[in-house]
Amino acid sequence: MYNVTLITGDGIGPEIAEASRRCVDATGVKVQWDVQEAGVDVMAREGTPMPDRTLESVRKNKVALKAPITTPVGTGFRSVNVYLRQALNLYACVRPCKSYPGVRSKYQNIDLVLVRENTEDLYAGVEFAKGAAETAELVSQINRLSKDKKIRTGASTTGVSIKPISVEGTTRIVTYAFEYARANKRKKVTSVHKANIMKHTDGLWLELSRQVAAKYPDIEFEDRIVDNMCMQLVQKPELYDILVLPNLYGDILSDLCAGLVGGLGVAPGANIGDNGAVFEATHGSAPKYKGLNKVNPTALILSGALMLRHLNELDAADRLERAVAAVIAEGKDVTYDMKADRNDPTAVGTSQMADAIIAKL
């Protein structure tokens, strides 16, 4: 029996959480679910989007399946997702992007894994605003230290964000990517960076990537500048296997790679640390569809399969993924977004697609 925290989220979260729970249970693996809340709904009642009891549940159980949670844009509370990763030190974000027959895409046979550093970089949240006098002094200090062209600003207020990249954090995540490659019989790791411009932060990332790669002579290693990597993925994604990236680049490129395989609706994710793991869909909470029993549950169900693999329930994980793939390939009991015509009246709802997956199991 496994004790697992189920965070139901907000927006469409509760619907796809229930669908995913039923599919995991249908594999036969015994799970005791500890259902917890997070997001805007609990924020409205309790004044916090992440109650202490939810965080403590994840700490205790060490495994969680988390439905999407809304993050306000520009104002309001910081991302609950980022908070969870930092509070639990879930330093490795793993996002497989895999083609499934029946999912509409211009690409076929994609099988990429993004390994994203989860706790540092610009997502560390070290940022502040400076008024006119403070801005002038700050720019003056930067210009005194800079050997390159001088920075100028005419703004009365300047926003400043700090980009920490550490030896420990970088070594840890690149090592994780190579260990993942070995464990899953992958052949190549590509480190993504912008070291040609950010020589102290991304430069450190690249240097440490090369040092770690030297310890894994059985796995091919290369590096790519992030903007070139975006072009490469669009033009020839078949050349790539595992990508390891700093936090911001990993967030952006994981959406790009999801686009290669048909969208965020089929993109699962895992956040893994030394003392816990949280599994979640890559997509957001889509509040406009709340309560409509309409959205595609595939991404969170596949995240449940990742969770089963993490628990070493490999047969159950494989059976669940095969059941999802079979339902998608048939194209009959799928949600509207997976139909050739999005107005197709034969499209089923969230719970009915879960029923079809369970029937396949």
Could you list the active site residues?
Answer: 123, 194, 227, 251
What do you get for the CA distance between the two ends of the chain, in Å? 20
CB 20 within 8 A of CB 297: yes
CA 101/CA 268 separation, integer angstroms: 17
CB 311 within 8 A of CB 31: no
CB 231 within 8 A of CB 178: no
- For residue 219, the Cα-to-chain-centroid distance in whole angstroms is 24
Q: Is 307 exposed, middle or buried (0-12, 13-18, 19+ CB in 10 A)?
A: buried
Q: Give the burial string for 33-60 (b: 16+ CB within 10 Å, else e).
A: bbebbbbbbbbeeeeebbbeebbebbee
- Helix residue spans in the chain (DSSP H): 13-26, 40-46, 52-61, 80-87, 132-145, 167-183, 202-213, 226-235, 247-260, 298-310, 314-330, 350-360
CB 94 within 8 A of CB 180: yes
Q: Which neighbouring-strand residues pair with 115?
A: 94, 244
**Amino acid making up residue 82:** V
